[in-house]
Structure 1
Amino acid sequence: MHTKVAVIGAGPGGLVAARWLLAEGFDTHLFEQGPELGGQWTGEIGASGVWPTLYTNTSRILTAFSDLPHDGDQTFLSARQILRYLHRYAEMFRLKDRIRLSSKVIHVKHGGGRWSVETADGAEAFDRVVIASGRFQTPALPPVPGLSTFSGPEGVRSTFDYRGVEPYRGKRVLVGGCAVSALEVAAELAHGGAAAVTVTQRRQRYVLPKFAAGVPSDHRIFTRYGALAAERLPVTEVDRQLKTIVTDAGGSPEQYGAPTPDPSLFAAGVTLSQDYLPLVAEGRIDVRPWPLSVSGPDVTFADGGTQQFDGLLFGTGFRLDLPFLADEIRETLGLDDVHLDADRYTFHPDLPGLAFVGMWDQSGGYFVPLELQARWLAYTWSGRVPGADLGAQRAAVEAYRARRGLPQKTRMNLAAIGFARAAGCEPQLDRWPELRRALLFGPLAPSCFRLDGPDALPDAAEEFARAAAAFGAIESPEFTDREQADWNLLQSH
């Protein structure tokens, strides 16, 4: 009898988890609360933070799964193109007939050796459950004193609810936050006819353009070398190397008239945005410190200045929200608005048969690490790779708990390499000497994780070589002088 698995969510994480669970022989069923597969990429009002004119801030090569490259050579894709891609992926692996649309899960609990998944249609028993319902669904507005009194005609909204510039044409808009949604919305408002756009931030981040010197920036900053450096080199050296990549690509914010960030990139943070800093330099976006208070239409900032606004938009993060989990499960996980105790964001030793996909906070694109996490999960449950013993899992959970209160965001390349190692598919440098430079300093394209290990593909090397050379950055197998110096330093540690 096949093991019956419920996957909660039919966005990218749920779809890729179902694809690999099916490949490993599991009887897999997906529950999707919305009327269409795709998760955030549907743009459904109230359930998605994707607005109609949004384009990805990650390149097409890193916004794909290993079995299905995107058509064409467009570098950054629209939300509608990503949704069509997810439909094609679901059709390719015959997932659509397994998705129960408009089936919101209201309760998950464990008892009698099985898992119960309850929807409005009743409860159903499963042997195992995967939670892939999304990390970015419940926006968090900041606790600014007086925010509820704001009386501007466009009110207070999260960027999660932003659907275009039309309501803000000719209006004075304050955009709060320094992550990608805040900066991209601010840039769109400035281009789209807002009378004045002001961005308010707690701290100034470094800003990396999406495209620099003909190469998508996610190809430069999220590399395997970067993951190895994070493991072996002092934090100060990794900080220096990343800051060099960022400032070489786009300069430093103060050069554009924005505030000066902390000298440490790790302390300041970094955001991808192509147009934000040039618009600051042109005076089309003003930058202010964080608000102290709001009173009617007036916002008072930390520098003592006060301005009137017609609308406030905040891109200030999300709460981790899994309301359907039974109380005892929530307690075991130590679940709160930020944290979920699990071994590498996936398994908990006291909850066998339960797993999570896509529940970590990250900088960089999710498609590649989501697929690697899904493979690790499926391989572990099928026995193709050995699962971590309980002691190792408990140690991993304790290590995560010890980091509570510290910044939780991880980088895409660190997540991807960690999951690839667990799944047994990290590419081996000594087996691919002709690809050595691309594997270290090129993009972490999904094809490179089909070179070795379970489900390796015969054409993966050719596909990865094309991906690495797509923008002309990794055409030669020889290291540049900087790459050679960085590699020598890494080898010395």
Structure 2
Amino acid sequence: MEDRSDRFLIIGAGPTGLVVARALKQAGVPYEQVEADEDVGGNWRHGVYTTAHIISSRRTTSFPEYPMPAHYPDFPSRAQMLAYLSDYARHFGLREHIQFRREVTAATPLEDWSWQVRLAGGEERRYKGVIVCNGHHWDRRFPTYPGTFTGEWWHSKDYRHPEQLVGKRVLVIGGGNSACDIASEAARVSVCSHLSLRRGYWFLPKTMFGIPTVEIMRGWIPVPAQRLLLRVLLRIIVGKYTQYGLPEPDHRIFERHPTVNSELLHYLKHGRIRPRPDIARLEGRQVHFVDGTADEYDLVICATGFHLSFPFLPPGLVEVKGSTAQLYAGVIPPRTRNLYVFGTTQPRYGFGPLASPAADLLAQFIQLQDSMTLPLSVVLEMGGEKLPTTHLVDPHAALRRMKLARYFLPLLARRERRLRTSPRARAITLWTPARTA
């Protein structure tokens, strides 16, 4: 096993992996980075369809330390996002530390909490620690229904370009952003485009008054006031969802991730998309719905989301409840050391303004851990730090919390020095395979 225990390993070179690499490099934390793909970009390279555009705006997606070019539109395309991420890596000199086409198959803590990492092909290395940036849009989640469908049955991640939809009877399952994008593309080229919704969603237009909708909500506006303002604007601009054949939302705005799409309502009014209720059962190429109706389809696309998973880590090491990874401060698994998991949350807008300060804070956590005897996870646990109950993030509140956290880091160091002699702290058992058996 090759000894590289003087440095950390970053797994993944998508947006989150790149911003973490930038933060570690600027903080002087030694690291290496591996990426299974042939270039940077993550999901923007291998996971999204060719015609995709961001749903958040350019301003709320780009990293503040390296803004997107001014000539980019408000909603950049997949190609523009890839170019931006590639330029980001070049600008900060990150490529020299990235090893492409290197897939991690296992990362296991050793007795001293250094990490043994195995790569595809069998190569093994030892690192000081591991930072997981493998994304959360790759492990497909499929729905289950009684019966069998004998046509094509895809996940939204299998959809790549509109030519796949030409001349087909298409049913899309789900009401999220991918579902509405694909249903809208099918509306242009397919025989029919139907959208099956299990419940009501909040559908927001991409712009209001010529401004990207995500930019209308200011950080100083309390969340209840933001909800009220959006409800009023939607009633004025959109009207009632029932006027489009859609069910009313079964939750308040921001309690689930809203769907940002201007084309869906357009095609519903033109009859190019037909809303359908939840599916009751499958029978050959027929899909039966809970309202007693049925239709035949050639292709069903399940835009039903993804599991949050870390297949290269030992089972149980990072607990996931629903869609929420159980991480202190959003990055530190309980009762571990030198393991950080970055980028598992879902903010209400783009990744850049949140990811950059979070990555800088992560670099500070790593440096703080070096000065501690106890694992930082134990210090946070003993200090009453709470584990998250949702993966959804209010970006404005998160930015305020991160700003405060930087001021409290010295207090964590002082708390750790007090806890070193605490019998309660010494009694905490760090994670072992036996602990989860």
- Name the residue aligned to 2:418: none
Q: CA deviation at 1:397?
A: 6.2
C-alpha distance after superposition, 1:227-284 (max 9, x if no partner): xx24xxxxx6664344335445544422333233347435676210011112111211
More helix by share: 1
1:364 to 349, 358, 372: 349
Structure 1: unaligned runs, 5 residues or longer: 231-235, 426-493
- Counterpart residue type for residue 25 of structure 2: L
The equivalences for 1:178-217 within 5 A come to: 178-191=175-188, 193-217=189-213
> SS of 2:24's equivalent?
helix
How many residue pairs match? The answer is 399
> For residues 369 and 302 of structure 2, what CA distance do their matches in structure 1 show?
45
> For residues 290 and 325 of structure 2, what CA distance do their matches in structure 1 show?
33
Q: Could you tell me whether the CA contact under 8 Å between 2:35 and 2:99 is conserved in 1?
A: yes
- Name the residue aligned to 2:64: 66
Change (3 A) 1:20 1:399: closer
> For residues 233 and 333 of structure 2, what CA distance do their matches in structure 1 show?
37
> SS of 1:186's equivalent?
helix
Report whether the alignment pairs 1:17 with 2:20: yes
More strand by share: 2
Change (3 A) 1:132 1:290: same
Quote the RMSD (CA, aligned, Å): 2.7
> SS of 1:244's equivalent?
helix
- Name the residue aligned to 2:220: 225
Change (3 A) 1:347 1:188: same
- Counterpart residue type for residue 141 of structure 2: A
- Counterpart residue type for residue 271 of structure 2: G
> SS of 1:106's equivalent?
strand
Report whether the alignment pairs 1:376 with 2:361: yes
2:172 to 175, 180, 202: 175
- Counterpart residue type for residue 59 of structure 2: I
- Counterpart residue type for residue 30 of structure 2: D
1:419 to 385, 392, 402: 402
- Counterpart residue type for residue 12 of structure 2: G
- Name the residue aligned to 2:241: 253
Report whether the alignment pairs 1:410 with 2:393: yes
- Counterpart residue type for residue 115 of structure 2: W
- Counterpart residue type for residue 23 of structure 2: W
- Counterpart residue type for residue 124 of structure 1: R
Q: Could you tell me whether the CA contact under 8 Å between 1:341 and 1:397 is conserved in 2?
A: no
> For residues 40 and 268 of structure 1, what CA distance do their matches in structure 2 show?
22
C-alpha distance after superposition, 1:18-76 (max 9, x if no partner): 1000111111111101111110111x3xxx1x111111111111121122111115211
Q: Could you tell me whether the CA contact under 8 Å between 1:2 and 1:27 is conserved in 2?
A: no
Structure 2: unaligned runs, 5 residues or longer: 409-437
> For residues 337 and 418 of structure 1, what CA distance do their matches in structure 2 show?
24
Q: Could you tell me whether the CA contact under 8 Å between 2:324 and 2:344 is conserved in 1?
A: no
Change (3 A) 1:127 1:52: same
> SS of 1:91's equivalent?
helix
Q: CA deviation at 1:138?
A: 0.8
Identity across matched positions, percent: 27
- Name the residue aligned to 2:282: 294
The equivalences for 1:323-472 within 5 A come to: 323-327=311-315, 331-335=316-320, 338-383=323-368, 390-393=378-381, 398-400=386-388, 403=389, 408-423=391-406
Q: CA deviation at 1:394?
A: 5.5
> For residues 234 and 335 of structure 2, what CA distance do their matches in structure 1 show?
42
> For residues 367 and 272 of structure 1, what CA distance do their matches in structure 2 show?
18
> For residues 338 and 290 of structure 1, what CA distance do their matches in structure 2 show?
22
Q: Could you tell me whether the CA contact under 8 Å between 1:150 and 1:298 is conserved in 2?
A: yes
- Counterpart residue type for residue 169 of structure 1: V
| TM-score, structure 2 normalization | 0.84
- Name the residue aligned to 1:135: 136
> For residues 403 and 20 of structure 2, what CA distance do their matches in structure 1 show?
15
Change (3 A) 1:396 1:139: farther
| TM-score, structure 1 normalization | 0.75
- Counterpart residue type for residue 185 of structure 1: I
> SS of 2:280's equivalent?
strand
> SS of 2:325's equivalent?
coil
Q: Could you tell me whether the CA contact under 8 Å between 2:326 and 2:387 is conserved in 1?
A: no
Q: Could you tell me whether the CA contact under 8 Å between 1:183 and 1:276 is conserved in 2?
A: yes
